[in-house]
Structure 1
């Protein structure tokens, strides 16, 4: 398995951790331990990058833990309630998942939630989504495209913790002239010897201090990713294996038999397309088009700022869009007011990113201090 090869069946695993890295350019608290031991042959940052790009494994299985502490304030409807509790675990808590991989068409992820378990299983052209909380299962038969390759539906669930591999892919993709790449001491991750590759923003205006990748000394695949805020001693986001085996999992791990009493739904490709079409209303299409037209990026690299427009007009006040707009208004109203030559609005700050919602309907987000957002808002 090449770590940079496209893995559509697992693409939905890219998590909050990877998102934080992209914006910038506990249970697992003791998982990654840097030290002088084990004694590994020296390897340069360039050599480690080549190792990661050329890594190939036939299969693995293990337990992944994602932890986060972004220092977000309490947000109405987001950080409270049952749904909010699960969401908060992505930004101020811990998530655990078990993973199995035996090739591009054999993969399984089991998210171990507080209230139950959610599994996604890919076995050839068969994809199963199973939720223990409501004893439901969805079975999708993937059609083959014109090249004979299976296509995975893009509407698979999100919000699950990333594998270190996916988080590392996102981090490495961010390497450009704005990034300093170095190495540090050896590390132990899930009981395995590893090297540490360190990515640091050259621009000190970034809130990201560094991203550390622990790379397995033998298999050359990422075992853990830590994202540090500037000046912090502890990671704000960590995605790491607690346990891993590079033995190819048994085929039975990818065979799913619904437990008795499970409600099974088997939509056809046409059913999925129809539901997707129904979900995208003309109002939603219009709002999406308006948002795309009004989106731009100010700056580059780790200090770039994304600028977008909020939906406006009557379309943003009715139906599901209206409900979302109402929730957004409640969130924005709870944030501190701020103003300047650029105008006025509300500010959200955390350890790794800042967001500015202006009164004239713009949203500015970046892994930067508020001053950078104000500067971008004035352009």
Structure 2
């Protein structure tokens, strides 16, 4: 995590959160399992009633997004903005620990380095062993909601099957077909498969399959298929999971000796497409994202200045993007990002033409 990356971190949170929460897919399910029949509504209700407040486990992520190949070894692979793209490419393994809504630890284990995200209350630490650097963020205290579910106050930059499933479930509407597939096993636990299929032809998403633990209602894996692509576009699932509280000491973090530590401002987290309806006057406030459209076709618009100019003009961005009228575009099998020369950014699970049309209306 270079100093440049640390400076860029708050601005990166919104587009990275979009990519991480909008993408997650092809878990390695076990053999078909016979489970008591449940309707789609009953399985969704199981997720809503889940009382899992703590867990520890190992997550496996695999992706086929069509991104250019970036370095996979050496410092360049785990530093700077390239580390964000690298985390959305290939395969990665991470250890995750949760205890209530405000204690979390996420360890991405690379061959030559380890990246960590540790939250304890309002303290959020990000650490990269590749260059022994750390960033500390003081998070705002969330309003009291009466819920202790981990999903109630998601930790910035951290995606689990539960967080990803909640995003896609928020997009379920009359234009979405929802069914229950065959029972399966994930991380040694029996699970229902909830299959979500957009009826809209304007989205890049073909289908989403959520593996739901038959005992606890906890999403154990999420599978997203892109239109016209045989291989799963992105995958995230537990390979092992324990639903008891982790040791409290795991949520304490002290930067190693000699680490470069930087204090960062709290990121501004905003709603993502699929969670909100059409753009309203309140959402057009200066400096805040706008949501254009609804459901699967929704587009998030970020105002000029959200992504600094020195980031948009880096050689990495030139490698990842293509020139389009008025700016540059990053296209993947599931998410498209349009960065205009005037500094505005538009992103969504839609083709480039949809972003260009949305930008023309703003």
Q: TM-score, normalised by structure 2?
A: 0.70
1:282 matched residue in structure 2: none
Distance 1:126 1:327, change over 3 A: closer
CA distance in 1, matches of 2:45, 2:18: 25
Q: Does residue 217 of structure 2 align to residue 230 of structure 1? A: no
Q: Secondary structure at the match of 1:32?
A: coil
CA distance in 1, matches of 2:135, 2:240: 29
Distance 1:310 1:194, change over 3 A: same
Distance 1:140 1:308, change over 3 A: closer
2:20 matched residue in structure 1: 17
2:335 matched residue in structure 1: 353
Distance 1:190 1:333, change over 3 A: closer
2:348 matched residue in structure 1: 366
Residue pair 1:186, 1:194 contacting (<8 A) in 2 also: yes
Q: Does residue 213 of structure 2 align to residue 209 of structure 1? A: no
Residue pair 1:70, 1:92 contacting (<8 A) in 2 also: yes
Name the count of aligned residue pairs. 318
Gaps of 5+ in 2: 1-12, 147-153, 267-283
1:174 matched residue in structure 2: 171
2:238 matched residue in structure 1: 241
* Alpha-carbon displacement from aligned partner over 1:323-371 (angstroms, at most 9, x marks no partner): 2353389629962546xxxxx6655432113344566776543322344
1:25 matched residue in structure 2: none
Q: Does residue 112 of structure 2 align to residue 115 of structure 1? A: yes
CA distance in 1, matches of 2:299, 2:36: 40
1:97 matched residue in structure 2: 94
| Post-superposition offset of 1:127 | 5.6
CA distance in 1, matches of 2:360, 2:142: 47
| Post-superposition offset of 1:64 | 0.9
Structure 1 or 2: more helix by fraction: 1
CA distance in 1, matches of 2:122, 2:321: 47
CA distance in 2, matches of 1:195, 1:333: 37
Matches within 5 A, 1:32-47: 32-33=29-30, 35=31, 37-47=32-42
2:298 matched residue in structure 1: 304
Q: Secondary structure at the match of 2:33?
A: coil
| Post-superposition offset of 1:221 | 0.2
RMSD: 4.4
Residue pair 2:289, 2:301 contacting (<8 A) in 1 also: yes
CA distance in 2, matches of 1:336, 1:142: 37
2:85 matched residue in structure 1: 88
Q: TM-score, normalised by structure 1?
A: 0.67
